[in-house]
Structure 1
Amino acid sequence: MSEDLAPPRWAVELNSPPVPRTKATIPDPPGYTAASSGNKKQIASSKTPARTAPTTEEMDTLKLKKAWEVALAPVKQLPMTAIMMYMSGNSLQIFSIMMVVMAFKNPIMGLVATNQAFEKFDSDGTRAALLGVKAVYVAMQVLALALGVWKVNGMGLLPTTRSDWLAWETARDAIETAIPAF
């Protein structure tokens, strides 16, 4: 009966910590730096030089590259927006109306926030080159607005004929009329 009162093996192992393994048996993987382990001898014997701080010219070059990425970001959205607008059709439905609202809202908000989008890249060395980047950004936002105007024109919401402006002109007669049957 004394054997039944002894705790099970798993309970004994749970209360005692495992035996630590020695690191000497496993070599460090290639590219491992000892800085994370805290071993001072390995850190001192490391042959990698310390990284030097970038110069202001290098920082200005990097800032301009990032500014160009921000300036060209609206163009990357144009193909998908154009496909979505084409697929939504030209009838007045909630989906096509939402597409038109988004087609105008995003570029207008981008134009309003032009200086805010580029203020993190502004420095004495980049100020002159940043004007050209901002001009490209504005041009890309205007191109996105043009896509919205194309959609509104396709929906027939732009007043492009004389009868839209003059009260005495008659509206064009439709060549075909579709009447849904119930």
Structure 2
Amino acid sequence: MTTQPPPPPPWVLDLNSPRASKPKNVNIADPPGYTAAASSKQRSQSSKNAVRKAPSPEEMDTLKMKKAWELAIAPAKQLPMNAIGMYMTGNTLQIFSIFMVFTLFKTPVLAVLNIQRVFAPFETSGTSGRLIAVKAVCVLMNLLMLGLGIWKVNQMGLLPTTRSDWLAWEGERTWSERAVPREWL
């Protein structure tokens, strides 16, 4: 006596069978740009045949300047996150806070040193004059990052800002007058 396997569940039948087309409601209009006659094959062929117009040199210069400005402003976008990170590390000397301060000093210095190489792809005859302002803003944003690093080093007490930090270079005071004769001392 052989038993037949149970019929598959309805979801398997629905998955394996093609969907029945639903009758179109005549009262609802098609959305703008929709054509029911265009099949997927026709749409894929039309998208392959459509050739995009090449941008003009002025449009390319505009796009290059937009991208250059994005790169110039990028350090300012990192500034709030770095400030929160500096606040969270505290003012004690720990490996994490030292590493973050080192990164705050290293990143802007390297960015300023590599500024010509970074903006070289955007340099064309139409953008060369306008890139000077972009580079200046980039340097300014990196100086802000350096300022955050200097603030953090000061908060950690590593900057010599008080007179007692310079005692090694002060000489002994010589008194021109004494209230007590020298022999009494």
Compute the TM-score of the two structures, normalised by the length of structure 1. Answer: 0.67
* Backbone CA RMSD of aligned residues: 3.8
Map of 1:111-126 to 2, 5 A cutoff?
A: 111-126=112-127
CA contact (8 A) 1:163 1:169 kept: no
Q: Which residue of 2 aligns with 1:133?
A: 134
Amino acid at match of 1:142: L
Distance 2:98 2:154 in 1: 13
Partner of 1:53: 54
- The amino acid of 1:76's aligned partner reads K
- TM-superposed CA distance for 1:30, in Å, is 7.8
Aligned residue runs from structure 1 range 9-158, under 5 A = 39=42, 43=46, 50-158=51-159
Q: Distance in 2 between matches of 1:168 and 1:128?
A: 49
Unaligned runs of 5+ in 1: 5-17, 171-182
Following superposition, the deviation at residue 52 of structure 1 comes to: 2.0
C-alpha displacement at 1:31, in angstroms?
6.0
What is the Cα deviation at residue 19 of structure 1? 10
- After TM superposition, give the deviation of residue 166 of structure 1 in Å: 3.9
Bigger-Rg structure (1/2): 2
Higher relative contact order (CA 8 A, sep 6+): 2
Q: Which amino acid aligns with 2:96?
A: F
1:165 aligns with 2:166: yes
Aligned length: 161
Unpaired segments of 5 or more residues in structure 2? 3-15, 24-30, 172-185
After superposition, the Cα gap between the structure-2 partners of 1:91 and 1:125, relative to the gap in structure 1 and judged at 3 Å, is: same
1:164, distance to aligned residue in structure 2 (A):
2.3
Give the share of equivalent positions with the same residue, in percent.
61
> CA distance change for structure 1 residues 89 and 65 in 2, over 3 Å: closer, same or farther?
same
User: Equivalent residue of 1:123, what SS?
Assistant: coil
Structure 1 residues 120 and 32: alpha-carbon distance in aligned structure 2, compared to 1, 3 A threshold: farther
TM-score (norm 2): 0.66
The alpha-carbon deviation at position 56 of structure 1 amounts to 0.6
Measure how far apart 1:118 and its partner are.
0.9
More displaced 10-residue stretch of structure 1: 71-80 or 116-125: 116-125
Task: Encode CA deviations 1:56-91: one digit per residue, 9 max, x unaligned.
Answer: 111101110111011000000001101110111111
From the superposition, tell whether residues 163 and 55 of structure 1 become closer, same or farther in structure 2 (CA, over 3 Å).
same
Q: Which segment drifts farther, 49-58 or 151-160?
A: 49-58
* Aligned partner of residue 127 in structure 1, secondary structure: coil
Moved over 4 A (4+): 18-21, 29-33, 36-40
Offset of residue 38 of structure 1: 5.6
